[in-house]
Amino acid sequence: MATLGDIGVAATINILTAIIFLLAFAILRIQPFNDRVYFPKWYLKGIRSSPLHSGALVTKFVNVNLGSYLRFLNWMPAALKMPEPELIDHAGLDSAVYLRIYLIGLKIFVPIALLAWSILVPVNWTSDGLQLAKLRNVTSSDIDKLSISNIERGSDRFWTHLVMSYAFTFWTCYVLMKEYEKVAAMRLAFLQNEQRRPDQFTVLVRNVPADPDESISESVEHFFLVNHPDHYLTHQVVYNANDLAALVEQKKSTQNWLDYYQLKYTRNQEHKPRIKTGFLGLWGKKVDAIDHYIAEIEKLNEQILEERKKVKKDDTSVMPAAFVSFKTRWGAAVCAQTQQSSDPTEWLTEWAPEAREVFWSNLAIPYVSLTVRRLIMHIAFFFLTFFFMIPIAFVQTLASIEGIEKYAPFLKSIIEKKLVKSVIQGFLPGIVLKLFLIFLPSILMVMSKFEGFVSLSSLERRAASRYYIFNLVNVFLGSIIAGSAFEQLESFLKQSAKEIPKTVGVAIPIKATFFITYIMVDGWAGIAGEILRLKPLIFFHIKNSLLVKTEKDREEAMNPGQINYHATEPRIQLYFLLGLVYAPVTPVLLPFIIIFFALAYLVFRHQIINVYNQEYESAARFWPDVHGRIISALIISQILLMGLLSTKGAAQSTPFLLVLPILTFFFHRFCKGRYEPAFLRHPLKEAMVKDTLERAREPNFNLKPYLQKAYIHPVFKDNDYEDSRFDEISGYCIEDSDDECVTVPTKRQSRINTPAVSHASRGSSRSPPSK
Amino acid sequence: MATLGDIGVAATINILTAIIFLLAFAILRIQPFNDRVYFPKWYLKGIRSSPLHSGALVTKFVNVNLGSYLRFLNWMPAALKMPEPELIDHAGLDSAVYLRIYLIGLKIFVPIALLAWSILVPVNWTSDGLQLAKLRNVTSSDIDKLSISNIERGSDRFWTHLVMSYAFTFWTCYVLMKEYEKVAAMRLAFLQNEQRRPDQFTVLVRNVPADPDESISESVEHFFLVNHPDHYLTHQVVYNANDLAALVEQKKSTQNWLDYYQLKYTRNQEHKPRIKTGFLGLWGKKVDAIDHYIAEIEKLNEQILEERKKVKKDDTSVMPAAFVSFKTRWGAAVCAQTQQSSDPTEWLTEWAPEAREVFWSNLAIPYVSLTVRRLIMHIAFFFLTFFFMIPIAFVQTLASIEGIEKYAPFLKSIIEKKLVKSVIQGFLPGIVLKLFLIFLPSILMVMSKFEGFVSLSSLERRAASRYYIFNLVNVFLGSIIAGSAFEQLESFLKQSAKEIPKTVGVAIPIKATFFITYIMVDGWAGIAGEILRLKPLIFFHIKNSLLVKTEKDREEAMNPGQINYHATEPRIQLYFLLGLVYAPVTPVLLPFIIIFFALAYLVFRHQIINVYNQEYESAARFWPDVHGRIISALIISQILLMGLLSTKGAAQSTPFLLVLPILTFFFHRFCKGRYEPAFLRHPLKEAMVKDTLERAREPNFNLKPYLQKAYIHPVFKDNDYEDSRFDEISGYCIEDSDDECVTVPTKRQSRINTPAVSHASRGSSRSPPSK
């Protein structure tokens, strides 16, 4: 077991690493040529312009103002300065509420830490359970003297831990309830203040039943004209444009290569660049690169045009889904919340997601297929969680010396060299595992896509909850009980319901030092690394030197990134879990967690203000999940404490602990009923208020043309084609409103907070085909 | 272990009992003086009139037609004759669908029994596991030779049981799905064909927020005028009339006494009946009974009038709830399914129950209180299920010889007598337990009432699901593993997840004979006793001779009774569970279950046609629960078979069985998504169709007066007071429609199928106060 000294050394190393990262960041960010990497948000908002345009040549690239180096930490107060309402305005509610997760961490753990250090630590310290144990040759460290391990078996002092556990639970629940209330109010206020947006009036209808006499479009129109006669306005059918999207994607990458070779040629005009046309440019005929790519693009343009015509003309490319728009928000709220037909698998309505977060390729999945997909993915996730070590171990065998020699004997001479051998033996297995863990969120995202969710936010929420479970089983339980998840499952099945909390509970105090180190490596240094943005920094400079020709290209090379909710939130939850589990057991761990939350809050606040650009805005739709996971962490901590205490001869206190999880669970049920509807449903009163206000403000606004083209597959919006040509092809305006179509309003309004076009929805065609 | 001979004896006894019951029924039912006991439904429909009015004196009371005694079983084909659509028309959809539960039993178990007897029984019979065991001195019976016990350890024949288990599962699921589909279609057709009823246009609004400036009524009107401007028609507030209801109830019982003494006096005019006014008529001043009760009634009449005025005038007696009616079914469907306000604890809307199934006293419970009540009842039910033996044992101690001697020493001389002693020792403990079990459904009903449900159907559904769990734990598991539920819980907590199915599974084949006897006693003889209606028969004749003065009194004394869904359905479920669990293990049990289902189907079809009169009509709202419980029985049977097979050295087949519960669970999820909405939600399309049809048919129908008085607390409807007086007091018509009020249509329409006034809603005031 680690002593205080060991932890001190680890802390020093990690604090140094963190400081190095922060210093590097401080230096890099004030260099003008990195400006677009560290302040992309401001460029996207159009407020900041490139510093490269003005001043002397040197100052254009390197910052020579020495004073600014001295103030290298001044980003911290700057990050805190922006008040929350302005932050919501600047970055959207999702980002602002995401930051509140870190704040909750502070709100929960600072008072708990104070209480624990002023009561629990003295109680633990003044006991002498370990000294008695030492007589029986049990070794222990200084940290254990501060933990519950120091209390002798059957002591009455365990009542302190019991009372403290109640105090911690009540405090956590109190903070959670206040926060849920606050976030729900913020969400409602946000939705109420939002400007007019197409999705407020629109409902997504899926599983439109096939009708032999009518096209999908006619069928939708008739159904809603009959069943929502006073409210129905217009609708847009959904085209299956997955092939088209693939072509557009291909054209974009060809265009990139063309740009690259043109730039190369302008810099070195002596010989024209030539490439081989074969596989990966490795063999085949040598041709002039620029001519080749120009011809390729021309060919693709033609294909795209043809595909567009085909999609439009072919009735089979109309999916049985549509976006139906209503005259009022009230009408849309009614349609989204009610069942339309007596067959609950037809005419399924739900509130339409924002146009940019629609996951187009999933819109046509029929009802039965959805159930089957869900079943398959549940089973797949079960195996992924409990058996993921099997393929990893297999790849690790392949990547071992013997594996390589067996399957690729021609490499034998190389790997027999000492240096190569030690690298393979020492790093490869670890790298294979690390690679898997890095790609895990993406794998889970692909699984969610297969499951058939239709909006990016729901995809991310599902991936996040799976990632959380994976972390819980493999990181938390996996670290406490050494052994793979499958072995745990095996042993849990063999143990009785009473034994499991005991087995885990007993191991908890022992693993405290491990988790302290984990928090420092993953939490402190990792968060400090986040602010450095090493990957975007490198990619920006590579792209900048190879591809960028115009200012627009440079803007595209910027890649501000975003909070990857599905990858980051489950990791924060691990800290909540650690904090709550260790609060009554080893309170020494709490300050480390508090430092993590404080540092992460600072860093992410800075990044959200200056860097990230969210793809979509879900108005904090994810909050019920966050709340639910903290509650489950709380219940896990209570059960484990129960297990631990019952092995410590404090069985008489167990019944009192048994009450806690039950109360916590009902607190959760209460909160769910009280606040969750604000995140799921759409109150009619608020819709009516907004409708009335708007009618009073703009009595003559024509809604129909505004909504008529709001939900178009992004490939149809490609800038290379003039809108007129698309209109001709798509034929949206043919029906009855040729004159209205002239006044198509700008669609920019809907992106007030987060102006980027969604990468995922644009690239949705790359996901596995799901029909 | 019982042999085939033992079971034969038990069967003979039970078959004889059943035949005696059926014979008694056949004789009693054709006696004219019992006509109202065995055919009350026809009297209530007004089709049958009393045979006592015509014919000679003897034939008026006793049937002398000997031919009719010979055809004593002719009620059976008669019961089957009525086709289902007519049955729905006659007795309502609830009853018709309730009968389908028995039919499902036949549909599931007849093919399963055929398959099991043609494949499983020969496989079991030709094995010789028991003969080998006999060499090791294990005794066994003939029945065991037909069961899985006869197969030797590790034999490959277990694959037959595995395959059969798959076949049984698929067949059960197939029947369940077909049936769910059918019932959902029946429900939709029933709702579609229903005549105009107030609840189709009405929504129950609860938790109306208090407004300092407006009364509840004004507040409701303003809210719905603003938020449903095109659809709102009218509303009725709910008065807290619990005190008034108590007074009305008291008056009714006083009236009964008055009737009794008046009847007594007319029969024996010699001396006027006199009573004592003290407690229970045991002491106090002696007064003339008739005068006393007349005075009492007069006093109560005054009190009732006063209370009515108070309820009307006092603002505090208006509960924060209201029945809001809309102009169209579409408007009501929209309001019932949407959230009204951003605060999800205010303005809660749900589809209004029928007026006669409203549970009035629960209408005012606020949101937070509901959560707390639910928590308390969950905990109470947990203790009731697992610890109910503790108070029973306590009462049993009190009721033992020593207990009585200790607490009531003055009885010592009596109970020391031998006969009394043996009665107390032999019967009292059993009677205490039996009494508890008889009252259990009522106890569970009281618990549901406390939980705050607002309609009788939801109260019964909740009580039914609790009763099912109680039966599962205490009857099924309790019989298999001897010992109280608490001891089971204790041992389950100590065992591992893998061990529990083994422990239970192993005991299953051994308990087969016990359950066969149980089916014969509870299922065969019990059902045959049901048709005899012994209790209503006796009560009818007592009332008839003591209280009945007029034809109306006689009608009230009839008490047709009804299917007590919450008490009977969970008991049917036990047979499904037994059948599914024993189908692959001891197929000998199946014929007994089939006989139960067939007999019960016959008996209940007869009773529903001739006797029962449902209090309310929920349009088969309970079906999802029935479906869910059969599914859970299926999953339990699969897990127990898994446990059994793994102890039989057939571990290699366990993984194949593991797939079954997962598939079954997802089948359930699929059915839930596919069919359940038909039982919960209200499709707009169907509402629109009905609205349109009705507008076309009756364009001038005035809905407002029709709806204005539909939801009135039953005590206000008391016949003793003329309607005009009530109108004056309630003041419903004051507002704006004095002329419309004149044309109040008959409310009889809403009771076309089930004409009785709800006893429970009339007597709701007797339930524990719940404010």
Would you call A344 and B678 a contact, using CB atoms and an 8 Å cutoff?
yes
Residues of B within 8 A of A326 (CB-CB) are none
Chain B, 15 to 44: residues with Cβ < 8 Å from chain A are none
Average pLDDT of the segment spanning A687-701: 86
- A396's CB contacts (< 8 A; 6+ apart) are A428, A429, A432, A433
Bridge partners (DSSP) listed for residue B323: B204, B236
Would you call B188 and A342 a contact, using CB atoms and an 8 Å cutoff?
yes
Q: Is the pLDDT reported for residue A737 higher than 90?
A: no
pTM: 0.81
Residues of B within 8 A of A368 (CB-CB) are 670
Residues of B within 8 A of A674 (CB-CB) are 344-345, 367
- A117's CB contacts (< 8 A; 6+ apart) are A587, A590
* Interface residue A407 vs chain B (CB under 8 A): no
Would you call B678 and A342 a contact, using CB atoms and an 8 Å cutoff?
yes
Which pLDDT score is estimated for B100? 93
| Amino acid making up residue A59 | T
Answer for the pair A300, A250: CB distance below 8 angstroms, yes or no. yes
Q: Is the pLDDT reported for residue A206 higher than 60?
A: yes
* Residue in chain A lying closest to B690 (CA): A227
* Total beta-carbon pairs less than 8 A apart between chain A and chain B: 130
Which pLDDT score is estimated for B199? 85
* Interface residue B675 vs chain A (CB under 8 A): yes
B520-539: per-residue pLDDT in tens? 888 888 888 888 877 778 88
Sheet containing strand B318-326, edge to edge, reads: B232-239, B318-326, B202-206, B348-351
Which pLDDT score is estimated for B752? 40
Which pLDDT score is estimated for A115? 93
Which pLDDT score is estimated for B765? 37
- Give the Cα separation of B486 and B495 in Å (integer): 14
Residues of B within 8 A of A496 (CB-CB) are 493-496, 499
Residues of A within 8 A of B341 (CB-CB) are 683, 685-686
Would you call A341 and B375 a contact, using CB atoms and an 8 Å cutoff?
no
- Give the Cα separation of B474 and B464 in Å (integer): 15
The pLDDT > 90 percentage for chain A reads 20
- Give the Cα separation of B524 and B498 in Å (integer): 37
Would you call B337 and A342 a contact, using CB atoms and an 8 Å cutoff?
no
Question: Can you give the length of chain B in residues?
Answer: 771
* Interface residue B492 vs chain A (CB under 8 A): yes
Distance from CA of A341 to the nearest CA of B (A): 5
Would you call A681 and B339 a contact, using CB atoms and an 8 Å cutoff?
yes
Which residue among A342, A371, A673 places its CB closest to the CB of B673? A371
CB count within 10 Å of CB A59 equals 14
Residues of A within 8 A of B495 (CB-CB) are 496-497
**What is the DSSP code (8-state) at residue B236?**
E
Would you call A678 and B492 a contact, using CB atoms and an 8 Å cutoff?
no
Residues of A within 8 A of B681 (CB-CB) are 338-339, 344
Pick out chain B residues at pLDDT < 70: 1-4, 47-73, 132-142, 277-284, 396, 398-401, 415, 422-430, 482-488, 497, 549-552, 650-651, 717-771
* Interface residue B655 vs chain A (CB under 8 A): no
Would you call B333 and A334 a contact, using CB atoms and an 8 Å cutoff?
no
- B719's CB contacts (< 8 A; 6+ apart) are none
Which pLDDT score is estimated for B762? 41
* Residue in chain A lying closest to B341 (CA): A683
- Give the Cα separation of A127 and A149 in Å (integer): 10
* SS3 per residue for B736-763: CCCCHHHHCCCCHHHHCCCCCCCHHHHC
Residues of A within 8 A of B501 (CB-CB) are none
DSSP string, A210-249: P-SSS-HHHHHHHHHHHHSTTTEEEEEEEE--HHHHHHHH
Answer for the pair A326, A228: CB distance below 8 angstroms, yes or no. yes
ipTM, two decimals: 0.77
* Residue in chain A lying closest to B499 (CA): A494
Answer for the pair A580, A641: CB distance below 8 angstroms, yes or no. no
Helices A456-470 and A418-451 pack at an angle, to 10 degrees, of 130
Would you call A338 and B333 a contact, using CB atoms and an 8 Å cutoff?
yes
Question: Residue A622 — very low, low, confident or very high, per pLDDT cuts 50/70/90?
Answer: very high
Bridge partners (DSSP) listed for residue A323: A204, A236
Mutate to test the interface with A, among B342, B691, B695 (most CBs of A within 10 A): B342
* Interface residue A390 vs chain B (CB under 8 A): no
Chain A, 164 to 223: residues with Cβ < 8 Å from chain B are 188, 223
Which residue among A188, A230, A368 places its CB closest to the CB of B342? A188
Which pLDDT score is estimated for B755? 43
Distance from CA of B124 to the nearest CA of A (A): 31
CA distances from B525 to A74, A91, A369, B18 (A): 88, 74, 48, 5
Does B259 or A426 have the greater pLDDT score? B259
Answer for the pair B681, B187: CB distance below 8 angstroms, yes or no. no
B299-342: per-residue pLDDT in tens? 888 888 888 888 777 777 788 889 999 999 999 999 998 888 88
Distance from CA of B633 to the nearest CA of A (A): 21
Question: Can you give the length of chain A in residues?
Answer: 771
Report helix, strand or coil for A320.
strand
Residues of A within 8 A of B492 (CB-CB) are 497
Would you call A683 and B498 a contact, using CB atoms and an 8 Å cutoff?
no
Which residue among A188, A338, A674 places its CB closest to the CB of B684? A338
As a whole number of Å, the end-to-end CA separation of chain B is 55
Would you call A339 and B688 a contact, using CB atoms and an 8 Å cutoff?
no
Question: Residue A465 — very low, low, confident or very high, per pLDDT cuts 50/70/90?
Answer: very high
- Give the Cα separation of A91 and A83 in Å (integer): 12
A43-61: per-residue pLDDT in tens? 777 776 655 555 555 555 6
